[in-house]
Amino acid sequence: MVIDAQTRIWPSVDRLGRETSEILRRARADRWIKESAEPEQLQDSLECVDGALVFAYRADRQDACVPNEWVAEVAAKSRGLLMGVAGIDPLANDVFGEVDRAVEMGFVGITVCPSDQGFHPTHSSAMRLWERCESLGLPVFVSRPGPVGPGAVLEFDRPLAWDEVARSLPGLSVVLSGIGAPWVEETLVLLQKHARLFADTAGLVHRPWQLFQALLGANSMDIVDKLLFASGWPTETPAKAIETLYSINAFSQGTQLPGIPRSQLRAIVERDVATTLGIPIAGGRTSPADPPSPTPSGVAEASGEHTGG
């Protein structure tokens, strides 16, 4: 079964926030991101996969909102093709009410963007949110829907900020988008260290050279099993993303560079996202999958104090 672990929809780029919409229109970025990303267009692009996670989005400090209600309605009409991921702002006054409503609407996880939302992952409000997600079995997807704006606090996006979160909440599943780019090496270390930290390929599948380097690193550290296939639609189609993955060894042909075994590439594409993350599926919530056997340096730590907030 092939599940695209990150897709997005929006009626207008204005829904992605002031800065993002301004950047996109100024750059005339329709060549890689759409003015509108309609549900029908998304579903038409999913013929080569069995399903997809579709993300809502909320960042109050950027006036950004792709409503959870809209995404839930689209997912409900898809007859099981789409599974919704709720856009949650950890600093919003109604954050826990939003999480409860997301669960009631059938969302299978939440998504956040620390730099746009203006919080450090160990902020006290964020930690309370992660605790709630851990208790509910909701994975946290860390991603952004567009280019980085001037108001984004990039230090909040550093993957290492999730080290304390993972030590404090070892049962929480966290997925770092784009293998944490531009901090890929940090991400790979975290994936090796913590059993419930994962990463997806969204964002890197339309930058094949960077993806090739990231996969080489993951393969050398024996953590390819922590990577999830994601196209990041509409920035890339699932079909093109799969083609990119299977042809990634073109960079090593005729050189002394190592390649990625095709079995590893296939495992990324065909990974059972629902079982891996323990997300809800038809008939009830699954239990989190047994984590991959860690290397000696990969045992998740269960202690640690909250430093943010």
Domain range spanning residue 177? Answer: 3-298
CATH number for the domain that contains residue 230: 3.20.20.140
The answer to whether residue 237 sits within a structural domain is: yes
pLDDT in tens, 55-109: 999 999 999 999 999 999 999 999 899 999 999 999 999 999 999 999 999 999 9
Q: Return mean pLDDT, the chain.
A: 89
| Structure tokens given for 261 | 């075994």
Is 225 part of a structural domain of the chain? yes
Q: Is 185 part of any domain?
A: yes
Residue 243 resides in a domain: yes
Q: How confident is the model over 101-115, as pLDDT tens digits?
A: 999 999 999 999 999
Decide if pLDDT at 290 tops 70.
no
- Which residues, in sequence order, are bridge partners of residue 53? 83
Within a domain: residue 222? Answer: yes
Q: Is the pLDDT of residue 194 over 80?
A: yes
Quick check: is 309 in a domain? Answer: no
Number of domains the chain contains: 1
Q: Which of 120-134, 137-151, 245-259, 292-306 has the lowest mean pLDDT?
A: 292-306
228 belongs to a structural domain? yes
The answer to whether the predicted template modeling score (pTM) of the entire model surpasses 0.95 is: no
| pLDDT at residue 289, as a whole number | 41
Q: Give which of 160, 175, 265, 177 is closest to 216, Cα–Cα.
A: 265
Quickly state the pLDDT bin for 223 (edges 50, 70, 90). very high
Q: For the chain, give the percent of residues with pLDDT over 70.
A: 88
